[in-house]
């Protein structure tokens, strides 16, 4: 449920950010958004690296709940409290002017299901008129391609009532997101594809980063003897410290994104960040080989991390903060720029972009575990 809440919050928060900042400040606004994410990550990972939650919240420990259990309960409790507090602040301070949807805009999302024979406008003319197709024909001018060319007023009112009834249905939100994909600007399809492929590389890192430190850098085993379990725990805590450094770089990098995008363009910045991710992920494999080679050369297989390998791993975690800051901001800035001036198109496009993040997460969650095993 907490993960559902976090995923639900992200899309509307990004869309609200785009609405309040405007198209001229998309990069700056997303950089500030990213910097606050870094602050939260620093606080969370620093607490995770210490492992003292059970001392700060001793009332959570019982006879049936050990220190690790108390740490977990405290972490979830703080997460829920922070989520409620931040959403309350957002809802109170973020003033938003409600958009009055035009009849034609409603038809653009709902008509594909209500009227299967609806003709689409030419894509090139839609782009010159501002991006997403929202049905630009009004009551005073009817396009030659419009289905309403021979409609009577009574028929139009009847269709309008059908659309309004459809929009009030429980599946209207999902339908709008899915049907809006056919009205996206051509550039958005490239953004969605690259976003999905990018997160296919990030999610395994998020799932296995601390486990990698515990197993392949510290050579521990959570199911081994006492020394192996201790080495694994030390590695996991060191991995949390690496993520803390990652978040610091994430915060610093968020302030460099806007100047970089202005200097060389958002597309090139995003491409460079993905090549950095590729190089860092390749480096994890090289570090694992070196670490195992050093471990196997020891006569008694002393459990623990080689100092050079451990330092290199922490540097690797830190370097990944820069491309992560770009991943957290540039795609959303590009989406806001592509859909600016399209009425409700920004919110719908951001929702579709969130699907491009969630779909790889499902793929990795279902496939990474068996593959790792």
What are the pLDDT digits (tens) for 186-200?
788 888 899 999 999
- Which residues lie across from 65 on neighbouring strands? 62
pLDDT, position 315: 94
What residues does each domain of the chain span?
1-91+188-363
Could you tell me the pLDDT band of residue 127, with boundaries at 50, 70 and 90?
very low
pLDDT, position 318: 93
pLDDT, position 50: 65
Could you tell me the pLDDT band of residue 298, with boundaries at 50, 70 and 90?
low
pLDDT digit string, tens, across residues 76-102: 888 888 888 988 998 888 877 766 665
Interatomic CA distance for residues 121 and 137, integer angstroms = 10
pLDDT, position 319: 94
Specify which of 18-27, 31-40, 347-356 reaches the highest per-range mean pLDDT. 31-40
Does the model's pTM come out above 0.75?
A: no
Specify which of 3-7, 176-180, 194-198 reaches the highest per-range mean pLDDT. 194-198
pLDDT digit string, tens, across residues 42-71: 887 776 666 677 777 888 888 888 877 888
pLDDT, position 285: 92
Is the pLDDT reported for residue 116 higher than 50?
A: no
């Amino acid at each position: 449920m907490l993960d559902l809440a976090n995923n639900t919050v992200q899309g509307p928060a990004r869309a609200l950010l785009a609405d309040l900042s405007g198209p001229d400040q998309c990069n700056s606004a997303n950089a500030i958004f990213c910097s606050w994410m870094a602050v939260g990550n620093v606080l969370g990972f620093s607490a995770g690296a210490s492992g003292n939650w059970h001392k700060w919240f001793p009332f959570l420990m019982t006879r049936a709940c050990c220190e690790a259990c108390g740490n977990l309960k405290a972490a979830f409790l703080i997460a829920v409290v922070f989520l409620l507090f931040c959403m309350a602040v957002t809802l109170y301070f973020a003033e938003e002017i409600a958009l009055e949807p035009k009849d034609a805009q409603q038809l653009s999302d709902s008509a594909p299901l209500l009227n299967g024979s609806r003709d689409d406008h030419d894509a090139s003319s839609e782009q010159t008129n501002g991006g997403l197709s929202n049905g630009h024909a009004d009551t005073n001018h009817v396009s030659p391609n419009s289905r309403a060319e021979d409609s009577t007023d009574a028929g139009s009112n009847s269709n309008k009532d059908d659309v309004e009834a459809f929009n009030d249905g429980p599946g209207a939100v999902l339908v709008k997101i899915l049907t809006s994909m056919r009205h996206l600007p051509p550039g958005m399809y490239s953004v969605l594809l690259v976003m999905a492929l990018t997160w296919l590389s990030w999610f395994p890192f998020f799932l296995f980063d601390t486990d990698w430190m515990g197993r392949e850098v510290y050579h521990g085993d959570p199911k081994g003897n006492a020394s192996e379990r201790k080495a694994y725990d030390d590695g996991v805590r060191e991995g949390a410290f690496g993520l803390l450094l990652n978040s610091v770089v994430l915060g610093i990098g968020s302030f460099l994104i806007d100047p970089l995008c202005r200097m060389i363009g958002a597309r090139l910045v995003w491409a460079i960040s993905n090549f950095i991710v590729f190089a860092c992920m390749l480096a994890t494999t090289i570090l694992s080989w070196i670490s195992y080679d050093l471990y196997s050369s020891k006569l008694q297989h002393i459990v623990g991390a080689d100092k050079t390998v451990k330092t290199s791993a922490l540097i690797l975690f830190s370097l990944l903060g820069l491309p992560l800051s770009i991943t957290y901001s540039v795609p959303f800035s590009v989406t806001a720029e592509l859909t600016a001036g399209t009425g409700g198109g920004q919110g719908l496009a951001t929702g579709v972009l969130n699907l491009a993040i969630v779909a790889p997460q499902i793929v990795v969650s279902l496939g990474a575990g068996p593959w790792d095993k």
